[in-house]
Amino acid sequence: MPTSQRTLNRLFVLHSWAGIVTGLLMFIVCFSGAVVVFKNEIDLWANPSLAGLPRSEPPAPLDTVLAQLQARYPGATVETIALPDDVNPNYFAHVRERGAPASQRTKVALRSDTGAVVGPVDSQLGQYLRMLHVFLFFGPRWIVGFLGAAMLVLIGTGIVIHRKIIAELFTQRWGRSFRVMMSDLHKSAGIWGLGFHILIAATGAWLGLAPLFEQGTKYVMTSGAPAASAARKPPPTAEPAPMQSLDALYQSAQQAVPGLQARYVSLRRWGTTAAEASFTGALAGHLASTARVDMNAATGDAKKTLDPRTAGFWSLVNGLMEPLHFGDFGGLALKWLYFILGMTPAFLSISGTLIWLDSRQQRRREAQQQRAGVQGGLRA
């Protein structure tokens, strides 16, 4: 059944205003998202001294890395250790030094062959770009998730408005007015990148909004049972205790989740009976990127595991969202593809705004001409 002209006009208004209201933030998020696929490469480019360090296979033991950090920063808290990957040949660690504010961390680079501390990282440009894309630096992630939902609205209304999609694939009228040329470019970019735009919008909306819905669901489900929270026992007092080998803990984590390739190791309450070491990373031969094992660092027992392969359908879907959104699972060629296609929604936000502004100016000029014609007729 063909869509009525009245419905098309309403969808056009919705499409226009959704683009105008979100245009600036959409451009920032899409542009930074296209660039951030090269986050690791950007960090190396911004720190050329690190790119020249040797790569070691296998890398130095985690115990050696931790010992080097504790020797270089006595009394500091080692919170996270990032293992070498396909791009970065080095270890990285986030350290909170003694006396530093709770929110201040020092990012430290270490050699992968010896575990020796190189020193604080000079630039974190890649991480800043990721923070801009994911959180707009300091905002909650649901704002970016909302932009993903808005992008889906723009895609849906755009598909209905431009019904002659196949015909418009190769339509570009270069010799016409600015608005016509820009409109053709806007349509072509939207059509050629349609599948990618749907993927990025859907995964972005999921990553930003799914945690919000999950928290809301938990609140609704537990709001009627206040006794449960009242009966919750306080955590036991943490006493000093010897720690298990970090490398042995990693081996136990790989036994708990076969195929785990840890990218990060997070340490909490290290040196006490309540110490934990969490290993987070990808799964060998699997796209899901949210595998994690929490180990009791004092006893060596696995406390909690997250394996998307066995955690149910929705957990598997959630584990696929981030690699599909950032394109970090297929090597350099896929990153370039994500970068090129990722620039198209940034262009769409600019071109759509320019088309809207030019259209308003055109209507304003036509209204002025009509008023001038009416006034001229009255004088005659």
Give the pLDDT confidence score for residue 233 in this predicted structure: 59
Instruction: Read off the pLDDT of residues 154-202 as tens digits, 9 standing for 90 and up.
Output: 999 988 887 665 555 556 677 677 777 888 788 888 888 999 999 999 9
- pLDDT confidence of 380, banded at 50, 70, 90? low
Residue 45 neighbours by CB under 8 Å, 6+ apart: 51
Instruction: Read off the pLDDT of residues 52-86 as tens digits, 9 standing for 90 and up.
Output: 888 888 999 999 999 999 999 999 999 999 999 88
When pLDDT is averaged across residues 297-313 and rounded to a whole number, the result is 89
Instruction: Read off the pLDDT of residues 25-43 as tens digits, 9 standing for 90 and up.
Output: 999 999 999 999 999 899 8
What whole-number distance in Å separates Cα of residue 367 and Cα of residue 231?
70
Give the pLDDT confidence score for residue 379 in this predicted structure: 64
Give the pLDDT confidence score for residue 254 in this predicted structure: 96
Phi, psi of 213 (to 5 degrees): -65, -35
Instruction: Read off the pLDDT of residues 221-275 as tens digits, 9 standing for 90 and up.
Output: 776 554 444 455 565 667 899 999 999 999 999 999 999 999 999 999 999 999 9
Give the pLDDT confidence score for residue 301 in this predicted structure: 95
Q: Taking the domains of the chain in order of start, what are their residue ranges?
A: 48-122
Structure-model confidence comparison of residues 331 and 302, the more confident one:
302
- pLDDT confidence of 147, banded at 50, 70, 90? very high
DSSP code of 359? H
Give the pLDDT confidence score for residue 143 in this predicted structure: 92
Structure tokens at 271: 């040196």
- Burial class (CB within 10 angstroms; exposed 0-12, middle 13-18, buried 19+) of 180: middle
Question: What's the whole-model pTM score?
Answer: 0.81
- Cα torsion 268, 269, 275, 280 to 10°: value is 0
Is it the case that residue 324 has pLDDT exceeding 70?
Answer: yes
